[in-house]
Amino acid sequence: MAARQASLVDLLSDEAVNDPTTYFNRVRDEGPVFWNQRWNGWIVTRHSDVAAGFRNHEQLSSDRFAGPFAEDILESKTKYTQLIEFMSKWMFTSDRPYHTHLRSLVNVAFTPRSVEVLRPRVRELVHSLAEPLRERDRVNFLAEFAFTLPVIVIAEYLGVPAEARQQVREWSEHLGAVVFVAGDNPDRFVTAEKAMNNLVDLIRPIVRARAVEPKDDLISAMVNADVDGDRFTEEEIIANAVLMVFAGHETTMNLLSNATVLFHRFPDTWHRMSEDPRLARTAVEEVLRYDGPIKALARWATEPFEMGGKRIQRNDRVLLVQHAANHDPAFFENPERFDPARWPNKHLGFGQGIHTCLGGPLARLEAQEALTYLSREFASIEVLTQELTYNRTLVSRGLRELDVRFHQR
């Protein structure tokens, strides 16, 4: 028993990073709310508890600048001023009532309808990015497709120049090392501070220009958003535009690449989708469930409460493991079966409650269009990378490399 538990202590072990399903199933077997000594917090793995955790806004906080997270971040406050100033204005890291102020204003601008309008453009982009890859022996899927599509889409939607995308990718990766808790990168705060400076310098002039002359883009809509007299400050628009640039492509890139690996592993599902393109919608949900881009998200307790039969104390850290919830046999029938037609599919890939992913409709749209097009045009996508390795982070589930070959019909 002790040896078995000891093998679970490292949340960034090879097994935890490369095979999270097996690892977190083992954690759930030990206890659905399980104390992890090394991380110094609770690991929550049942669907019912993870969903309840996401909706428990009274006792579980997202504010990384208060409570126990703050020790890591704020001890270096003087060194990383820009990073902390702008991240503390992100809706992702704030609690009510500040979160309500930010999210209600952004909801005025970022609506399902304004996303749906982008569909023809996304379709065109999928086509223009995939066509040149047709005749190639080896394609770097991350760089040449999975990253490029979402970064162009979010840049155009916001109104930020897409030409800066290579730099934006690098800066976002540096922010990601902090947000996704990349345990193998000790310099992550230094590079993230520089990245935040660069992203702010890119976005601030655009916010100022839109205040004078609005255009048909999200930044203009944020500048003009007004909910009963409540408005964004300039700093809040910049902060949340940076958040969207960052959140808007890394995750979607990982959705597209994780999908590619799954269809390669279960080739008959690719065939089914090409026969019936309507499956793309449910298939995207199944990829989010089976191997979604976000594995787990952290919260901290603002007061004592019970969870899964355990007493959570004030200031305890709590890791809500979506990946485990999405493979919970008590909730999903036959969870290890990858079924692109699975419905209903109440996965937790986009979270729940007030922080439910803002960009869910956009990520879905991009993935649906990509899968529809690729499964219609190509007999298969062969994965050429011999050994798939994943980024060593607590939060995200993304491949380091993915080389593929598109096989013609």
Of 103 and 174, the one with the shorter C-beta distance to ligand HEM is 103
Distance from the Cα of residue 405 to its chain's centroid: 26
User: Is residue 340 involved in binding ligand HEM (CB under 6 A)?
Assistant: no
Q: Which of 141, 300, 338, 350 binds ligand HEM (CB under 6 A)?
A: 350
- Is residue 237 within 8 A of residue 219, CB to CB? The reply is yes
- Non-local (6+) Cβ contacts of 122 within 8 A are 149, 153, 365, 366, 369
- Residue span 202-241 as binding mask against ligand HEM, x where in contact by CB under 6 A, dash where not: ----------------------------------------
User: Is residue 349 involved in binding ligand HEM (CB under 6 A)?
Assistant: yes
Residue 129, classified by CB atoms within 10 Å of its CB into exposed (0-12), middle (13-18) or buried (19+), is middle
Q: Token pair of 197, please? A: 């400076």
User: Is residue 176 involved in binding ligand HEM (CB under 6 A)?
Assistant: no
Name the segment binding ligand HEM (CB under 6 A); options: 6-14, 28-36, 323-331, 351-359. Answer: 351-359
Question: Computed from CA positions of residues 292, 116, 87, 96, in that sequence, does the dihedral angle turn out positive or negative?
Answer: negative
Q: Which of 252, 302, 326, 372 binds ligand HEM (CB under 6 A)?
A: 252
Q: How far is CA 72 from CA 67, 84, 162, 240, in A?
A: 10, 12, 34, 22
Interface with ligand HEM in residues 41-60 (CB under 6 A): 54
Q: How far is the CB of 389 from ligand HEM (least distance, A)?
A: 20
The DSSP code for 294 is B
User: Is residue 162 involved in binding ligand HEM (CB under 6 A)?
Assistant: no
Q: Token pair of 214, please? A: 């609005």
Report the alpha-carbon distance of residue 20 to residue 95 in Å, rounded: 29
User: Is residue 359 involved in binding ligand HEM (CB under 6 A)?
Assistant: yes
Of 24 and 350, the one with the shorter C-beta distance to ligand HEM is 350
Name the segment binding ligand HEM (CB under 6 A); options: 13-21, 141-149, 344-352, 373-381. Answer: 344-352
- Residue span 5-24 as binding mask against ligand HEM, x where in contact by CB under 6 A, dash where not: --------------------
Give me the residue whose beta carbon is nearest to ligand HEM. 359
- Is residue 246 within 8 A of residue 176, CB to CB? The reply is yes
Cis amide bond preceding 97, omega within 30: yes
Q: Which of 46, 47, 103, 188 binds ligand HEM (CB under 6 A)?
A: 103
- Residue span 78-97 as binding mask against ligand HEM, x where in contact by CB under 6 A, dash where not: -------------xx-----
Report the alpha-carbon distance of residue 33 to residue 45 in Å, rounded: 7
Report the alpha-carbon distance of residue 189 to residue 124 in Å, rounded: 38
160 beta partners: none
User: Is residue 251 involved in binding ligand HEM (CB under 6 A)?
Assistant: yes
Residues found near ligand HEM in the complex (CB under 6 A): 54, 62, 91-92, 103, 154, 243-244, 247-248, 251-252, 255, 292-294, 297, 349-351, 355, 357-359, 362-363
